[in-house]
Amino acid sequence: MRLAAVLVLCAVFAMALVGTVWQIAGQPVGGTLPETVADAMADSGVDHPVTAVLLNFRSYDTLLEIGVLVIAAIAGISMARLPSLEDPELRTHDSLLHALQRWFLPLMWLVAGYLLWAGAVQPGGAFQAGAVLAGTGVLMRLGGMPMNFLQPRLLLRVGLALGFAVFLLVAVVSAAGGDAFLAYPEGMAKPLILLIEIFLTLSIAMVLLSLFVAAPVNDAREPAEGESE
């Protein structure tokens, strides 16, 4: 009964949605943004339009997006088990995995570095590189490497916030000079974008990895207001 009702509702919604897409596709109005982007590429400091949009034209979106990631990480580590991150279930003594790790880890670091560098001219960039780096960390974690820096202490918190902090500092430095918030100083766009991307890569990897590692949960809890402990 409930299934039927939900199905009917979803079918109606799907038809309305397809109709809307059809309508909109039939009569587009307004200018074309891609040409504006192409015209401004020369001033953007990078050669790949997607990277230019992400880290220059719409960098405010990206700044806040990294903020969202940091929030998720904060919520994650706020539930982490404090004394030890060692999860015996995750420990493996598979010699094949260890042997593969020895080959894969440097290779994956190389790939991450390449992805970061490639972002300037072709698809790639900080998030992709950070994701690969985090994947490396997951592999190390599964292989039983302790990785003590992931304990929810100061070092981890610095790592989580580093990329965001660097981005924010770059954003505000030019504002202090009288320019707009998030504007890059004349001719400095390329090195600054690269700097931001390097630190973002590290922090994004840290965020993703800490969310993977912090998953073991503690039993400490705060009683609801008005309940005794």
Partner 1 sequence: MMSWLMAGLLFTPLAWAVVSLLVGFRTGRWLSWVGMVLQVGASVALWFAVARESGFYYALGGWQAPLGIELQVDGLALTFVLLTAAVASACGLHAGVYLDPDKPWQRYFWPLFWFLWAGLNAVWLGADLFNLYVGLELITLSAVGLVALGGDAGALRASLRYLLAALVGSMAYLLGVALMYGQFGTLSLAGMSHLAQEYPGLEGAGLAMALMMTGLALKTALFPLHGWLPPAHGIARSPVSALLSALVVKASFFIAARLWLELGPNLGTLALAQLAGVLGALAVLWGSWLACLQPQLKQVVAYSSVAQIGYLFLLFPLTWGVTEAVSQQAQQGMTLQVISHALAKAAMFLAAGNLILSTGSNRVSDLAGVSRFLPFSLFSFGLAGVSLMSLPPTGGFAAKWLLLQASLNSGQWWWTLVLLAGGLLSAAYVFRIYRASFVEHSELDQFYHPPRRLEAIPMMLALMSLGLGLVAEPLLSVMALPFGEGG
Partner 2 sequence: MSVHLLYAFAGAGVFTIGLFGMVFMVHLLRKLLAFNLMGSGTFLVLVGLAQHRNGVDPVPQALVLTGIVVAIAATALALVLIRRYFHLTGQVTLEPGSRDDEGHS
Give me the residues that bind partner 1 (CB under 8 A), please. 16-17, 19-33, 36-37, 40, 56-61, 63-65, 67-68, 70-72, 74-75, 77-79, 82, 154, 157-158, 160-161, 164-165, 168, 171-172, 175-176, 178-184, 220-228
Residue 208: contacted member of partner 1, partner 2, none (CB under 5 to 8 Å, by partner type)? partner 2
Contacts of 108 (CB under 8 A, 6+ apart): 132, 133, 135, 136, 139
Q: Which of 75, 76, 205 is nearest to 140 (CA)?
A: 205
CA angle at 154 for the pair 152 and 157, rounded to the nearest 5°: 70
* Minimum gap (Å) between residue 173 Cβ and partner 1: 10
- What whole-number distance in Å separates Cα of residue 138 and Cα of residue 22? 44
Residue 28 as a binder of partner 2 (CB under 8 A): the answer is yes
* Minimum gap (Å) between residue 99 Cβ and partner 1: 39
- What whole-number distance in Å separates Cα of residue 131 and Cα of residue 112? 8
Task: Identify which of residues 79 and 198 has a Cβ nearer to partner 2 in the complex.
Answer: 79
Contacts of 211 (CB under 8 A, 6+ apart): 72, 73, 76
105 in Cβ contact with 137 (< 8 Å): no
Residue 56: contacted member of partner 1, partner 2, none (CB under 5 to 8 Å, by partner type)? partner 1
3-state secondary structure of 90: helix
Binding region for partner 2 (CB under 8 A): 2-3, 6-7, 9-10, 13-14, 17-18, 21, 24-25, 28, 32-34, 37, 49-50, 52-54, 58, 61-62, 65-66, 68-69, 71-72, 75-76, 79, 125, 127, 208, 211, 214-215, 217, 219, 221, 224, 227
